[in-house]
């Protein structure tokens, strides 16, 4: 997993992007039997994301068509490691390239009518970002709507971190089960629990 210790790898080149996705796919298949709890976290993230999309769509439709200075034009964002994991663990369409392979580029997925990536395949930072105009629009929603929205954002933030940590732990070559064969592990004595 050393190559994924930095997101710069994912931002490098088309071949790196493709290789990174192939590697994640391969690791998921190889460790499938130990990744069910990681996949469950990804599913929960998907569920939480789906719950906020209607509000995000509403905020966008109220503000973006009249925006004089689209945030996507100048955005320096990329699909990070948690995004890649989420995409593969939940079977989302894999974007054909990193969104901005080079910092001087404009996002590959920006077209005149907006973003062409499905929301589930976008960088999470693109979904959670609310510009000042949208923040003002959100504040006009009921307290209940705002609280539910903030709760979902917080849950997604925590779950993404835990999904990534758990994936790295399971697939890391230094994980105990990879280093010490199960037959060599001395079972804990009955009655002793950690
Ligand atoms: S999110 Fe805000 S800044 Fe970005 S395009 Fe929409 S209105 Fe403009
Ligand atoms: S991926 Fe979509 S939302 Fe994100 S910067 Fe590109 S066009 Fe904008």
Supply the pLDDT for residue 53.
97
pLDDT in tens, 41-95: 999 999 999 999 999 999 999 999 989 999 999 988 999 999 999 999 999 999 9
Higher pLDDT among residues 4 and 38, named by residue: 38
Q: Which atom of ligand 1 is nearest to the CA of 67?
A: 8
Distance CA 16, CA 24 (A): 12
Higher pLDDT among residues 43 and 12, named by residue: 43
Asked if the model's pLDDT at residue 179 lies above 70, the reply is: no
Distance CA 8, CA 66 (A): 34
Supply the pLDDT for residue 194.
31
Site to substitute for ligand 1 among 70, 77, 127, 129, most atoms within 8 A of C-beta:
70
Q: Which atom of ligand 1 is nearest to the CA of 68?
A: 8
Distance CA 118, CA 87 (A): 11
Q: What is the residue with the minimal CA distance to atom 2 of ligand 2? A: 115
Q: What is the residue with the minimal CA distance to atom 3 of ligand 1? A: 71
Q: What is the residue with the minimal CA distance to atom 1 of ligand 1? A: 131
Distance CA 8, CA 5 (A): 9
Q: How confident is the model at residue 104 (pLDDT cuts 50, 70, 90)?
A: confident
Give SS3 for 85. helix
Measured from CB, residues less than 6 Å from any atom of ligand 1 are: 63-64, 67, 70-71, 131, 133-134
Ligand 2 centroid vs 117 CA: distance in angstroms?
A: 7
Tokens of 168: 């790295």
Query: 24 forms bridges with which residues in the sheet?
Result: none
Global pTM value: 0.84
Tokens of 34: 């130990």
Please report which ligand is nearest the Cα atom of 62.
1
Cβ proximity of 38 and 170 under 8 Å: yes
């Amino acid at each position: 997993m050393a190559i994924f210790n930095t997101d710069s790898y994912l931002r490098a080149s088309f071949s790196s992007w493709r290789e990174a996705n192939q590697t994640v796919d391969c690791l998921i298949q190889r460790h499938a039997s130990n990744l069910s709890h990681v996949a469950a976290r990804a599913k929960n993230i998907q569920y939480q994301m789906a719950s906020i999309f209607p509000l995000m769509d509403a905020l966008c439709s109220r503000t973006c068509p009249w925006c004089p200075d689209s945030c996507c034009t100048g955005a320096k964002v990329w699909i990070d490691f948690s995004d890649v994991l989420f995409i593969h663990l939940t079977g989302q369409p894999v974007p054909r390239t990193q969104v901005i392979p080079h910092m001087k580029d404009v996002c590959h997925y920006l077209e005149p009518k907006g973003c062409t990536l499905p929301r589930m395949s976008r960088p999470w930072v693109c979904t959670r970002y609310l510009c000042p105009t949208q923040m003002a629009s959100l504040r006009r929603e009921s307290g209940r709507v705002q609280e539910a929205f903030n709760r979902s954002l917080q849950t997604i933030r925590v779950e993404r971190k835990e999904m990534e940590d758990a994936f790295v732990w399971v697939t890391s070559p230094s994980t105990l089960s990879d280093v010490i064969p199960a037959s060599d592990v001395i079972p804990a004595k009955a009655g002793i629990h950690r």
